[in-house]
Amino acid sequence: MSKNIYVLDTSACLTDGNVLTSFGNNDVVLPLKVLDEIDGHKKRQDGVGANARFIIRTLDSLREKGNLNKGVKIDDSRGTLSVKNYDPSVIPTDLDINCADNQIIATALTEKKASPRKKVIVVTRDINMRVKCDSVGLLCEDYQNHEIVSDPDAVYVGFVDHLVDDQFIDHFYAGDDVYIEEDSAVLYPNQFLMLVSSSNEKKTALAMFINYNTPLKKIHKFDNIWGIKPKNKEQSFAFSILMNADIPVVSLIGKAGTGKTLLAIAAGLEQIMGGQGNETYRKLIVSRPIQPMGKDIGYLPGTLEEKLLPWLAPIQDNLEYLMGNDKRAMQDHIDKGIIEVEALTYIRGRSISNAFIIIDEAQNLTNHELKTILTRVGENTKIVLTGDIDQIDNIYIDEKTNGLTYAVEKFKEYDLAGHITLSKGERSKVASLAAKIL
């Protein structure tokens, strides 16, 4: 069986540091221009930079085994890797050779000309690059090695309708212990249920599933969490897992205006300083990724704190609102170390114990970045991930490959985690309508 030749685009390389070893016994070609572009990202302090540095180290180790231009065997079970330039004569006259993408396409066309009996396939995450390749007769495919779900609509939502007998709901309301039979439904720990009567669909009850050996739990009514009252059932579900110290990993997904960040901060303040205090948590840490950080932040005027302010402003807005717009009170808590608001770059590497941590805009993190953060969580710490997987600013990930989606899908089977997708906007009528129709 003839080997394929996979020509890698920069976007595929910066998405996954292990991309060079992801094509089995086929041959991999890295265009020389890709090396140049990877080098431009190696100093970034995020997952993209980590991938760039890892690929450079991998290439250096392979270089010691042979000549990269001629091709080096990756390992015993894989094909060869080579770094190639292009033949200018193969590029269509309408394409500007000064464009980096076109140089990569030219390299693939050069390989196709040199190996006419082999399939030459360009691998890229760039949609327009795939269109260009198709236009010049090149095979092209997306790099999907890290998709955790096949469809964004298939992401776990943490809530499901469940059909039961009429008497089941009566027993549940009466306070009797009722259980879900394992062969009747596939459920996950800390999942929320809408129990629906099989004889009367209007007869319902809300419950929380722990496991098949534990009776269903009633949903506690949280009427005042740091001045916030839930406005819909999903917000009630969110408070149920946010206020539960036995669930140290919580994820909330929702569009703008659904209240995910506000609910998380309110729950943190309530458990640290409010009437439902939890002595386990001594401080509230709220952070979000600076995206894009390495390229844009240096152009902003002022000190580091002033440069970060535009990215941290949404968190400050939520804190000020919950503090009754009392900036002095909020600053006092920050000065005392009870509240920390900072960029995610400065959270990495710390081991944080006895804290309530909120990572906002977590959909902009890669799987690797989120893993780095979660593995630094210390004892007696709760971490809350919030975000909207439909609004991703990181060009190297999407709805199916971002860190937040990974966390939701990977943690759903474990009892130390809880998740809910918030679907109803509560910020204002304008915000709700905009999120729906725009």
Give me the DSSP letters along 166-199. Answer: HHHHHHHHTT------TTT----TTEEEEEEESS
Q: How far is C-alpha 152 from the geometric centre of its chain's CA atoms? A: 12
Per-residue pLDDT at 293: 41
Count the neighbouring beta carbons within 10 Å of the beta carbon of residue 3. Answer: 15
Q: Examine residue 292 and say whether the peptide bond preceding it is cis (omega within 30 degrees of 0).
A: yes
DSSP codes joined into one string, 305-333 = HHHHHHHHHHHHHHHHHHTTT-HHHHHHH
Per-residue pLDDT at 294: 42
Tell me how far apart the alpha carbons of residues 206 and 223 are, in angstroms, rounded to a whole number: 16
- How does pLDDT run along the chain (438 residues), one tens digit per residue? 578 999 999 999 998 888 999 999 999 999 999 999 999 999 887 778 888 999 999 999 999 999 999 999 999 889 999 999 999 999 888 899 999 999 999 999 999 999 999 999 999 999 999 999 999 999 999 987 677 888 888 999 999 999 999 999 999 999 999 999 998 889 999 999 999 999 999 999 999 999 999 999 999 989 899 999 999 999 999 999 999 999 999 999 999 889 999 999 999 999 998 766 567 899 999 988 875 444 445 545 555 555 556 667 778 888 888 888 888 888 888 888 899 887 777 676 677 899 999 999 999 998 888 888 898 888 899 999 999 999 998 888 889 989 999 999 999 999 999 999 998 876 667 766 776 676
Contact call for residues 308 and 296 (beta carbons, < 8 A): no
Per-residue pLDDT at 295: 45
Beta bridge partners of 249: 383, 417
Per-residue pLDDT at 253: 97
The pTM of the full predicted model, rounded to 2 decimals, is 0.79
- What domains lie within the chain, and their CATH numbers? 5-141 (3.40.50.1010), 222-437 (3.40.50.300)
